[in-house]
Amino acid sequence: MTTNPLADWFATPLGAYLLAKERAYLDDVTPDIFGFHALQLGLPQFDLLRENRITHRMRVDAGGEATLRAKGTELPIATQSIDLALLPHVLEFAEDPHAILREVDRVMMPEGRIVILGFNPWSLWGLRSALGPRRHETPWNGKFVSLLRVKDWLSLLGFEVSAGRLVCYVPPVKSDKWLERLAFMEPAGDRWWAVGGAVYMLQAIKRVRGVRLLTPAWQEAVAREKRVALAAKREGAAGHQRAGSLKIVK
């Protein structure tokens, strides 16, 4: 079985600390995203869409424990068929991250949701990635992509950012003991240094110009009946006003 260095890193104390925060966020936001097909691209070892209610969920990766083995730039998935796509730390370890976003855009349904998890280069973790003595090890060897750049890429593809947040303000220490001691930095960082979180979690909606969302026929019928009733009411009121204004000539 092909090993994934990033998945192995998530088994370390620091990786487990981050994974818990990412899972808490995803467990909170993904249950309210509906549709028919959901896609998790990367990290197939972890079911990060476990709380989502979409019946058909697939974990896509080039190997490992993926339910669908494929490259992120060549997805064997029909165009405009995915309602929810999750990219957990995919862009910073890809040779061509923009190509992956273009391919994900191709398979996304109009009004579909994309969720991106990424390491923030403008953080203490990003500093370690750039200057740390072990910056050639996972995950510090990734090319951390800034939140602003990801937003620009999404905008070019027609996505509209709808929500997001940053987490992990503690330094990238190795032991559980130090993570517990530095836990006070989480609320302090969220309040005083919001842009300095180690990881950003971004949600966006695919917007397509000229697309009109169709409502069920029964909703159209109810709306039509309301319009007819309102028009009749207005006509009746106007008739009473005209009758009241008539003068009887003897």
Question: Which of 35-39, 110-114, 235-239 has the weakest average pLDDT?
Answer: 235-239
Average pLDDT over residues 163-180: 92
Q: Nearest 5 degrees, angle CA 222-CA 226-CA 232?
A: 145
pTM comes to: 0.81
DSSP string, 42-109: S-TTS-TTTT---SEEEEEESSTT-SEE-BTTB--S-TT-EEEEEEES-GGG-S-HHHHHHHHHHHEE
The per-residue pLDDT for 247 is 42
Average pLDDT over residues 8-13: 96
Contact at 8 Å (CB) between 30 and 49? yes
Average pLDDT over residues 183-203: 87
Average pLDDT over residues 99-122: 97
The per-residue pLDDT for 222 is 57
The per-residue pLDDT for 154 is 97
- Cα 81 from Cα 58, distance rounded (Å): 13
Q: Nearest 5 degrees, angle CA 104-CA 120-CA 53?
A: 45
Contact at 8 Å (CB) between 165 and 25? yes
Contact at 8 Å (CB) between 172 and 14? yes
- Cα 89 from Cα 118, distance rounded (Å): 5
Facing residues of 40 across strands? 59, 86
Name all contacts of 184-191 with Cβ < 8 Å and 24+ positions apart.
Answer: 190/166
Contact at 8 Å (CB) between 60 and 70? yes
Contact at 8 Å (CB) between 200 and 148? no
What is the identity of the amino acid at 153?
A: W
Number of helices followed by number of strands (H, E) in the chain: 8, 7
The per-residue pLDDT for 231 is 64
pLDDT over threshold 60, residue 52: yes
Facing residues of 199 across strands? 119, 167
- Cα 210 from Cα 208, distance rounded (Å): 6
Pairing label, strands 82-88, 37-41: parallel
pLDDT, one tens digit per residue, over 155-171 is 999 999 999 999 999 99
pLDDT over threshold 80, residue 184: yes
- Whats the size of the chain, residue-wise? 250
Give the phi and the psi of residue 200 in degrees, each rounded to 5. -105, 145
